[in-house]
Chains A and B, each alone.
Chain A
Amino acid sequence: MKDILKDIPDKRQDKNTTSLKFKKDLISYLGDNYKDKICLEIGTSKGYSTRILSHLFKKVITCENNIDNINFAKDINKDRDNIEFLNKDVYNTSWDFEDIDVVFIDCNHEISYVLSDIRNAINLCKKNEDILLIFDDYGLDNPWEGVKEAIATYDNDDRFEIVREIGEPKGSDCNPRALLRDVEGVICKFTSNVEYKNIVFLMDIDLQGDGRYSSHRRDAYKYSIASWQKWCDKNNTELFVLNDLVVEYQKMAICWQRYYLFDILDANDIKYDQILMVDADTIVHPDCPNFFDMSDGKYVGVHNEGSYDWIFRSIENYSKYIFDSKMIDWWKYINGGFQIVNENHRNFFQKIISFYFTNQDNLVKLQETFHTGTDQTPLNFLLQLENIDLKLLPYEFNMCDLPRKDILGEDLLFTKVGWIYQFNSIPNQKEHNITNYFMEKTYKHFHGELS
């Protein structure tokens, strides 16, 4: 161990590295058990930890966005031949790595970035195997939520556990800025478990009302549900259809109630990986690619390409009356009818519900005055104001407003140019007859009669 730690500074000498105790604990935990394995390091910094890791693993792949840091790290590790240095922005590029056994995470310590790191690391785990995640600065006393809070979001996930605390203890003065509020670092283990499936979540609730609450609106939902069931069967995904309201719809419009998603899944004892919340006026192409594989573990939506008159009015109206005149990037505005989320977004959904009840009267008044949507525009404001890391999929994954694209017709051209069709914004309808007609026709085009 002495040889490995030769010339490596302690955190007290260089605050950007880990303490010597952290490194010793790490060496002690990993021992010789990983000599034939690959470690991915997120955040090379000066390369001191990289050097330690290079002694413990067959190979180390280390990612760093700052080229000066990479050059420094290369220099101090010039005698090591098993390190691959990547100049990579890990938050804006895919983690295209294979056969990774351990991920050492020491990059941006703000919670949203750490959650992104964890999600990306977990995605590297093979089915029914496990992966180690090593975190520095678990006990760092930041004024913002950080590593500890990110890991805490996995408290209820029995695939994820802290297996060892490492480094300086709580209260240590190893960081010159502040005493540690908890142990310096932790080693976590994530075990992939096939019981945790991806979920497609739909709402099909008969409100037996008039207008937008009319039962006719649901007439063709059975085709949507059947198309999604077939897609789920093909893609090892579970379909969950909610048939009951969580809250009376007079108190909360049905669209808002989807943000009780995690409570609903918990109440039904459903284990999940990622969840697609999709509207029941959609039909999915049977060969639609598995969009869960495209998420990079992020919140996923599809930009709403429809009437921008409606979208801009909606944004401006909500901005003025609800969001203190704040504005959002309209080109990131997503349709609420297709949202992929995961456990990392539980807190965000709780914020949405809380936001709703805090602003309930104003929201209802605004909805009834301007008719520029219910949850969709507030969702977009909250996504951007809360800095949720959003990934946009192409239009083909939520093809709303089909008539505007000149592809809604008897030839069903839309089925040749995309994957998920949302039969909304269709003009001149009576009791949703055109929507229902095309949903039935599209389903039968792919699958024949409903069995």
Chain B
Amino acid sequence: MGKKNVVWWPAVKNVDHNDKFGNFEYFQYSRNTWEYWCEKNDVLFVPFEVPVEDDLFRFRINWQKAIFVFDELDKRNIEYDQIALVDSSFMIRWDTPNFFEMTDRKFTAWRDTDNMRWIYESIQGYKDFFDGFVLDQSKYVNSGFIVFNESHREFFQSFKKMYYDNIDTLLELQDKIVKRGNEQTPLNYWLQVKDIDVNIDLPIAFKLTHLQRKDMFSHNWQLDEDKTPFFIKYGYNFSFNGLPKDQRNNIMKQTWDIIKGNYK
């Protein structure tokens, strides 16, 4: 059997955050869409549900999903071509084109320009840790959906080593000093420090984040012919982030109820 493309889908339930995330019921809606899309596109769906490191405070899932991806695929004897890491807060539309065919086999990601103040502050907050490296914000990407391949193994392994070598400092930055995200900004620094060639040219329909900020929950109330919310109508891969986390279950359930007929 030849190597398949893989969707690496982190969905570890952290019981300490059950209240905050409503018992993580939203995982199921994300999974429904991604399993369907993977089967349709001959892609291997690989869930990451059991953490490698049990201490989920010192090893947040956001870090584990990135630093252990190659180790876990090796451990499971999975032969892969390209790997798409996608957060379980994403739902993919049933007819989304096969993005693996659009990457030019580069590390592929999408710019994050949603809350540019948050991003700026996060970049500044980690700057000293990265020896004053001047990060180009116009190349800052979202880490919730990225595509890469075997040629990036060394990049992720070095990222893992960096984390293990600096875990206490990074925890302090993330929880007490910067308080702007987990692995996303360090990952961006690492990409730019290591001069990784990142493809950021794919349409944003593949990474629709902050739907509320973008006014995408509405429909065309002027024509009033189609009440399908815009994000479903025009997006391919939508993330339910940038919202109060206790609303995620409900909104993803409502979305699933609207679209589930297309996944049969």
A316 touches B220 (CB 8 A): yes
B215 touches A405 (CB 8 A): no
Chain A: interface residue total (CB-CB under 8 A): 29
B222 touches A313 (CB 8 A): yes
B220 touches A313 (CB 8 A): yes
- Within B152-168, which residues are at the interface with A (CB < 8 Å)? none
**Closest residue on chain B to residue A321 by CB atoms:** B223
**Known contacts A405-B114, A407-B116, A407-B117; A320/B223 CB under 8 A:** yes
A406 touches B218 (CB 8 A): no
A394 on the B face (CB < 8 A): yes
In angstroms, how far is the closest chain A Cβ from the Cβ of B81? Answer: 22
**Known contacts A312-B230, A312-B234, A320-B223; A395/B214 CB under 8 A:** no
**Known contacts A307-B215, A308-B216, A417-B120; A406/B115 CB under 8 A:** yes
Chain A neighbourhood of B216, CB < 8 A: 308-309
A308 to B221, CA, bound (A): 13
**Closest residue on chain A to residue B137 by CB atoms:** A417
Name the one of B138, B205, B222 contacting A331, with C-beta atoms under 8 angstroms.
B205
A413 on the B face (CB < 8 A): yes
A242 to B228, CA, bound (A): 43
Chain B neighbourhood of A313, CB < 8 A: 220-223
By secondary structure, the A interface counts as: helix
In angstroms, how far is the closest chain B Cβ from the Cβ of A333? Answer: 11
In angstroms, how far is the closest chain B Cβ from the Cβ of A416? Answer: 7
B103 on the A face (CB < 8 A): no
A310 touches B115 (CB 8 A): no
A394 to B200, CA, bound (A): 11
**Closest residue on chain A to residue B113 by CB atoms:** A395
**Known contacts A308-B215, A308-B230, A396-B138; A331/B204 CB under 8 A:** yes
Task: Flag B102-124 by CB within 8 Å of A: 1 or 0 each.
Answer: 00000000010111111010000
**Closest residue on chain B to residue A396 by CB atoms:** B138
What would be 13 A-B contacts, judged by CB atoms less than 8 Å apart?
A308-B234, A309-B216, A309-B230, A312-B233, A313-B221, A331-B203, A331-B204, A332-B203, A394-B138, A395-B111, A405-B117, A413-B120, A417-B116
State the B residues within 8 Å of A (CB).
111, 113-118, 120, 137-138, 203-205, 213-216, 218, 220-223, 230, 233-234
